[in-house]
Amino acid sequence: VIPYYGYSRQDKKTLAREPISARLVADMIKVAGADRILTMDLHAGQIQGFFSGPVDHLTAVPLLASYISRHFQGDLVIVSPDAGRVKMAKKYADYLGVPIAILHKRRPGHNEAEVLHVVGEVRGMTAVLVDDMIDTAGTLAASSQALMEAGAAEVYACATHGIFSGPAKERVDASPLKRVVVTNTLPIPEERLSHKVEVISIASIFANTIASVFKDESVSELFGGNNQP
């Protein structure tokens, strides 16, 4: 059971002679004797192919979408922080019955992000940024600022994995974000948490999935067949 799959962003080579660490982790897990994997919201779906045995992919989207509908007010718009997260953003939008917007960005350096355009209508709306993980919060801070400049009334963020490394806490504190919601797929030290961050539990999702596995029942039915990355 691997709630957060480490090295998931290293699923392919981006530089010469760079390792594909996500594959190495999969090989080590296999050598250790695991014959079935349960994990949640992989950064890249192709990681499932790194394993020779079955991989049950879980998602926190229904849980977080339910939180959004209960706690965030106003005309909602789901915002993808880049083109790569559009599929995830669409899942949120479909659950909630709201429109989506997309941010076009470029990366001037490692763990840096510059938003160039907001594609879609956000003026006067409650914008909710969604992503699979928050690491240094560079993208999050730049995106929230761009949305406010585009006329959004309020900006929130939801992500499955809260890593909050490096300057993440300071960036979240200084950003116009009203609240950031993550799950407890990995432990977050108290000193890394901004007062804006709320952590919700995914324990029931894993408990129900493990029960389905032991009963030889369908895991995908727990998510309405909508659990693939």
Q: Per-residue pLDDT tens for 28-85?
A: 999 999 999 999 999 888 889 888 889 999 999 999 999 999 999 899 999 999 888 9
Residue 19, pLDDT score: 74
Is the pLDDT assigned to residue 110 strictly greater than 70?
A: no
Is the pLDDT assigned to residue 103 strictly greater than 80?
A: yes
Is the pLDDT assigned to residue 112 strictly greater than 70?
A: no
Can 1-59+202-229 and 61-200 be said to share one CATH topology? yes
pTM exceeding 0.85: yes
186-190: long-range contacts, CB 8 A cutoff, minimum separation 24: 186/3, 186/4, 186/161, 186/162, 188/162, 188/163, 188/164
Residue 83, pLDDT score: 85
Residue 184, pLDDT score: 97
> Which of the two residues, 196 and 47, has the higher pLDDT score?
196
- Give the separation between CA 112 and CA 36, rounded to whole angstroms: 36
Q: What is the CA 30 to chain-centroid distance, rounded? A: 25
The reply to whether 215 belongs to the active site is no
CATH 3.40.50.300 fits 1-59+202-229, yes or no: no
Q: What is the mean pLDDT of residues 95-114?
A: 79
Question: CA distances (Å), 162 to each of 86, 200, 229, in order?
Answer: 19, 11, 18
Exposure string of 31-59, with b = 16+ CB inside 10 Å and e = fewer, is eeeeeebbbbbbbbeebbebbeeebbbbb
| Domain ranges, ordered by start, for the chain | 1-59+202-229, 61-200
pLDDT tens-digit series, residues 148-191: 999 999 999 999 999 999 999 999 999 999 999 999 999 999 99
- Give the separation between CA 120 and CA 205, rounded to whole angstroms: 33
- Give the separation between CA 24 and CA 27, rounded to whole angstroms: 5
Is residue 139 within 8 Å of 107, Cβ to Cβ? no
User: Tokens 């190495």 map to which residue?
Assistant: 24
State the catalytic residue, choosing from 13, 30, 105, 178: 105
Is the pLDDT assigned to residue 226 strictly greater than 90?
A: no
DSSP letter assigned to residue 37: E
Confidence of residue 1 (pLDDT cuts 50, 70, 90): very high
Is the pLDDT assigned to residue 111 strictly greater than 60?
A: no
- Give the separation between CA 126 and CA 177, rounded to whole angstroms: 11
Confidence of residue 108 (pLDDT cuts 50, 70, 90): low
Is the pLDDT assigned to residue 137 strictly greater than 80?
A: yes
| CATH topology for the 61-200 domain | Rossmann fold (3.40.50)
Structure tokens at 197: 């961050």
3-state DSSP call for residue 9?
A: coil
Confidence of residue 20 (pLDDT cuts 50, 70, 90): confident
Report strand pairing: 114-119 vs 126-134: unpaired
User: Tokens 């919700």 map to which residue?
Assistant: 200
Residue 21, pLDDT score: 86
Question: CA distances (Å), 93 to each of 76, 196, 197, in order?
Answer: 9, 23, 22
